[in-house]
Structures are given as C-alpha cells and as structure tokens.
Amino acid sequence: MNYYVSTRNENVKATPAQAVLKGLAPDGGLFVPDDLDSLKVNLKAMMNMSYREQAKVVFSLFFPDLGEKTLSDVREKSYETKFDGPEVAPLVKVGDAYVLELFHGPTCAFKDVALSALPNLMTASAKHEDFKDHILILVATSGDTGSSALTGFSNVDGTDALVFYPEDGISQSQRLQMVTQSAPNVKACAIRGNFDAAQTGVKNIFRSVDQPAPGVSLSSANSINIGRLVPQIVYYFHAYKDLVDSRRIRIGDEVTFIVPTGNFGDIFAGWFARTMGLPVGRLVCASNENDVLTEFLTTGRYNKKREFHKTTSPSMDILVSSNLERLLYFICGSQKTAQYMEDLKTKGEYQITDEELLNIQGIFGTASVDSTRSAEVIRENFQGDHYLMDPHTAVAWGAMEKLLQTGELKQDEARVVLSTASPYKFSRSMLEALGQPERDTDEENMNALQEYSGVAAPDALLSLFSKEILHKDVIDAGDMQDYVIRTAENCRR
C-alpha cells in the first residue's frame, strides 16, 4: 500500500502519516487504503504472536512509511502499562459463546484500545512529516470516545484535545470522566443537541476551517480517522488466536463476531480483519431502537429522517453512521459513494442497488434489540452464568439470540460478542435490569451494584466522584465553530 484515498474521490490522496494527521479528507470523505491486497497477513504466523506483536504487524501494513523502529516504539508506549491486567482484551466464555472484553483500559471502554495508540501514531506521523503546527484534536462523542480521547491525549506534547458531547443522553459516570479531566491541554464542552448534531458540527468545521488559528491545525480522534480505526483490527486477530489456543477452533475455521454498533467503526475494523485474511463467517451488526443500520442492511435504504430514541445503550444512539461510508466505497466505488453522501446530506436518505445490498449481506448480518429486551438479557446472563454485561453488550447478545432462533447463525459455530464497556459505567440501568432499586447518584448505584453482584467495580470509575468538575461550558450546536476558534487561539499561549 502506498497511499490512502478519499472515499469520495480516488484522486484525493495522502500518505499514511498524512492521513493520520488530517483525520478527514479535504473533500469530506474518509481515507481508505488504495490497495487491499497488500494488507494480507500470514494467519498461521499471527497465531504464534502476542497481542503486541500482532499490533506491530497490523500497524506496519497500514502505516509503512513510519518504519519498523518507530512502530515498535508506538506499540510499546500504547499497550505496555495502560491496561488493568496482562491481557489487553481478554476472551471470556459465557454459556456456549464468548465475550471479548474490551473495557480493561483507563476509561473502561473499548475506545481505550485505539485511543491508547492514536496519540503515539499521531506524534510519530507529525515527526515523520516534519509537521510544525500545534494539533488540535476535535472529537464528537456519544459517551465513551470523549473520555478515552481526553485521557489518551492528556499531556501529549504538541497537541490539545477538545471534546463535544450531548448535554443529555449520557450517563453521569461518562460525563464525570470528561468534565474532571485535569491535564492543561484537554477540554470538554456540552452541546444542546444529540450526538448526530455534535458529529455533524465537527465534520462541518473540518470542511470549512483550514486553520482555526495561526500555527494550529485540526485533526480527529473519532473513528473517521484511520489512525483510530486500525488499532481496533488487532483484537479480532487476538480473539481468534485465543479460540485456537483453547482448541475451540482450528486455524482456518470461521468465527462469527457480533458487534454492538452505532458509528460502524468497531464492526468495520472486523471487515478489515476479514479482508486481511482472518476467517470471519459473519459480522453481525447489532442495533438498539435507533435501528437505522438494521434497516439499511435489510433493505438497502439509509434513512436518517426518523425519531431519535434515548436508550439505555447511549453510545449506540446514533442516526448517522460515519464509517459506513468506507464500506460503501469498497462495494460501490467513489463516484456512487459521493452521490449517496450528497443524497444523505440534501435528502436525509439514500438507496443502494439490489446488487450492492446483496454484496453487503454476504458478509453482514443484523438484528435490533430494544432496551426492554437488553435488560432481560442482562438479568438472564447474570442469573444463569453470574456474568455481568453492560447494556451495549446485552444488545449484541440479544441480537445473537435472535439470529440463532431464525437459523441465520448456527448453534455449533464459534461466536464472539464484543463487549464495549464496563457495566459500572451504566450502574443505574444495570440495577434496574437486575430488579434492584436505583439510588440517587451514580456513586451510590455503583456501590449498590457491587454489593449485589459481587463483581468488583473498576477503581478508575470509583475514584471519579471525589474529583473536581473543571469543564462546565454548554453551548448550542451552531456555536461550535466559534468555540473551536477560541480554543485554538489559546492552544499555544
């Protein structure tokens, strides 16, 4: 692979380091590799590697211009001490399926896996490109990305990070993880609106603002940035290795991954892994009541003109799934992708062809699970296997059960559910699901959940409630650009 190209115009190119620094292509598209064949791996060799060794292989394929030594340093800095145990992503057997626990990082969410690596990839890319500008990271979050980005970029030289989050619709713990961040180079700001308003605002700023202040350039830590997406590929390979090591499968057997999905980034990392040679049977896209992706994967129609639901799985409360654009590019080509994105912008919807839909359905399955059913799943798994899963994971588990009932998934195949957050980030919803009385605050709810379940709460969450709230700004979505400019003017003072 030599270049990344825009999903909307293959003539818009960037080197791997430039793609990481830019985040978003200048035409509004997302960067994708120009040659998928060059990304193939030796699967047998990967099965003899540790997580960190697998990460180096994946990083080397997607960011070859950074060089082996630099990528070795990136790998060590990213994964050496940031996780709460020897395994970055433990695979746990629950019933007759497996749960890939991606919440053992500093903010107890799957975004930590990627956002432990992205700051190191970005600083390495800046050095490689002799990039002199200060970098202001812009992030829109539906809950977890924000705290992971603020933590990942805390005190990273040459960068500031600014996160926009919806004023309502995230848990108290998610909010505290952002507004108590104390590093001088990070900031969180609430907007009056939902995640889609925040994400649209950030994308518009990237398109309309070249430099928000002299000597300051913008980049992204959302999964629209290829440097954020690539690290997520690694845990698919490592989960497969764990299944081989446990003798659940043999090398070459297919595995189905069920992924709770909002912005389509986590599941698209699985698509990349499959393209690289990982034997993936199905990638199941699990949605909550905001089931825009379920409708799309069933009918080929993407329609964001629908009621927005606030659910118990808020990180999936998304109606515009940005990373779906990358899949459209590889299925439909850049010209049609650009037209579909224009239709989404101007009409609020688009419709792909029957042939395109069949190509997608050959890989992706889908099911939606509402908050009532996800609560039942939480209760059933705790009572049956004494396993505590958060509402997002429960949506994925419920989707798996649905597809087992219809026969789309087979009982004897290896199935891995991606678990995206600690249940203690959503302690109020957890208590309700388990039939326990809710308390007034998240601190009380965490303690009650811990006492009832016997499952220890992470120290990183328990310590939140004694921290000072430092970031108190709340703005209208229409004021985001002015806020970014003011923040950028202060970056280098």
DSSP string, 461-473: HHGGGGSPP----
Answer for the pair 114, 83: CB distance below 8 angstroms, yes or no.
Answer: no
Helices 233-245 + 51-62 axis angle, to 10: 140
Pairing type for strands 280-287 and 255-260 reads: parallel
Helices 354-361 + 324-332 axis angle, to 10: 120
Q: CA-CA distance, 416 to 429, in Å (whole number)?
A: 24
Residue 436 is encoded by which pair of tokens? Answer: 């326990």
Q: CA-CA distance, 221 to 120, in Å (whole number)?
A: 12
Backbone φ and ψ for 469, nearest 5 degrees, come out as -80, 120
Kindly state the DSSP code that residue 109 receives in the 8-state scheme.
Answer: B
Residue 457 is encoded by which pair of tokens? Answer: 């709460």
Q: CA-CA distance, 277 to 280, in Å (whole number)?
A: 9
Q: CA-CA distance, 130 to 463, in Å (whole number)?
A: 40
Residues assigned a catalytic role: 111
Residue type, 26: P
Answer for the pair 408, 91: CB distance below 8 angstroms, yes or no.
Answer: no
Helix ranges, 189-323 (H): 195-208, 226-229, 233-245, 265-275, 292-299
**Distance (Å) of CA 453 to CA 105, 109, 376, 385:** 22, 20, 16, 12
Q: Identify each DSSP E strand in 95-183 by its residue range.
A: 97-101, 134-140, 159-166
Assign 413 to helix, strand or coil: coil
